Amino acid sequence: MNKQQVRKQIFAGNWKMYTTKREAVELAIGIASGMNIIDREVVLFPPSVYATCVVDACEGTPVKVGLQNMFYEKEGAYTGELSPRMLKDVGAGYVLVGHSERRHIFGETDELIHKKVISAIAFDIIPVLCVGELLEERELGKSESTVESQLIKAFAEIGEQGARKAVIAYEPVWAIGTGKVATPEIAESMHTFIRNTLKKLYNDSVAMTIPVLYGGSVKPDNIAGLYAMPNIDGVLVGGASLTVQSFLDIINVTL
């Protein structure tokens, strides 16, 4: 069986702290009207303040919307935070958890990320757990141990049923926003390692079910090589998801 028959294939755009309201809506409409492949899920992660507009723009289309972050409590005195209940309320079905910019700029710890994964699953929101090593860690030969530790901590105490709802994004920090994409071989080897770690934490069936996306300088000219790899189940795109044509060129890639 090929990967499309075994796992959901996901092509996601993380808009980070870019776009105006008008640009966000135009981008969503352009993407929804230009996608022509039905064997994959397209998910947009707009800035949270535009979530409702983007959800409205995608209504009646297959395009899904997620948010880039959330807090783990249902509600409370947490100024500036968004709760899983709010995400559900506006129609966001996905959330990015542990993105490297959250880990490294905002100091998010593995413990906090773990609580967010649990909360997302409890609220029936798909967590896209981001993992990946720094350049120093790669150079020291610690890529696998770093990612293994991030996975073990994020999935601690999460049972098989919960784990099956998660998606993982392997985003090597040295490839994010740098134009230095991982080669398909490096990415595939890390994705295989992630799947083997899931096998150890759970079992074969869970490991085969969870989609593992690649992120880090994905562009129209490198998507074909990456997506040809058997363990790359889609991509999480930053910069190239901010223009309709480049994101369409990525999501419409054929195998």
- Catalytic-role residue among 133, 171, 188, 191: 171
The residue nearest ligand 13P at its CB is 238
Distance CA 102, CA 173 (A): 12
Q: Please check whether residue 28 is in contact with residue 57, taking contact to mean a CB–CB distance below 8 angstroms.
A: yes
Nearer to ligand 13P, 83 or 217 (CB): 217
Residue 143 binding ligand 13P, by CB under 6 A: no
Nearer to ligand 13P among residue 168 and residue 206 (C-beta): 168
The gap from C-alpha 33 to its chain's centroid, in whole angstroms, comes to 22
Q: Is 104 a catalytic residue?
A: no
Region of 76-84, 152-160, 223-231, 232-240 interacting with ligand 13P (CB under 6 A): 232-240
Torsion of CA 91, 60, 99, 229, to 10 degrees: 140
Contact code string over 176-215 relative to ligand 13P, x by CB under 6 A? xx-------------------------------------x
Q: Which residues of 172-209 are buried (b: 16+ CB within 10 A; e: fewer)?
A: bbbbbeeeebbebeebbbbbebbbebbeebbeeebbeb
Residue pair 35/13 in contact (Cβ under 8 Å)? The answer is: no
Which is nearer to ligand 13P, 63 or 206 (by Cβ)?
Answer: 63
CB of 83 to ligand 13P, least distance (A): 22
Of the pair 25, 236, the CB lying nearest ligand 13P is at: 236
216 near 182, Cβ under 8 Å?
yes
114 a catalytic residue: no
> Within positions 99 to 138, which residues make up the interface with ligand 13P, using CB under 6 A?
99
Q: Which amino acid is at 29?
A: I
CA dihedral defined by 183, 186, 190, 191, rounded to 10 degrees? 50
List, in order, residues 6 or more apart from 167 with CB less than 8 Å away: 8, 10, 94, 126, 127, 128, 129, 210, 211, 212, 213
Which residues, 5 to 44, sit near ligand 13P by CB under 6 A? 14
- For ligand 13P, give the closer residue by CB, 99 or 114: 99
Nearer to ligand 13P, 120 or 206 (CB): 120
Q: Which of 46, 66, 234, 239 lies at the binding interface for ligand 13P (CB under 6 A)?
A: 239
Beta-carbon contacts of 1 under 8 Å, excluding residues fewer than 6 positions away, are: none
> Residue 156: helix, strand or coil by DSSP?
coil
- What binding mask, one character per residue, do residues 52-91 give for ligand 13P by CB under 6 A, x or -? ----------------------------------------
The structure tokens 């992630």 sit at 194
Among 9, 19, 146, 217, binds ligand 13P (CB under 6 A): 217
> Which residues form the catalytic set?
99, 171
Which stretches of the chain bind ligand 13P, using CB under 6 A? Answer: 14, 99, 171, 176-177, 215-218, 236-240
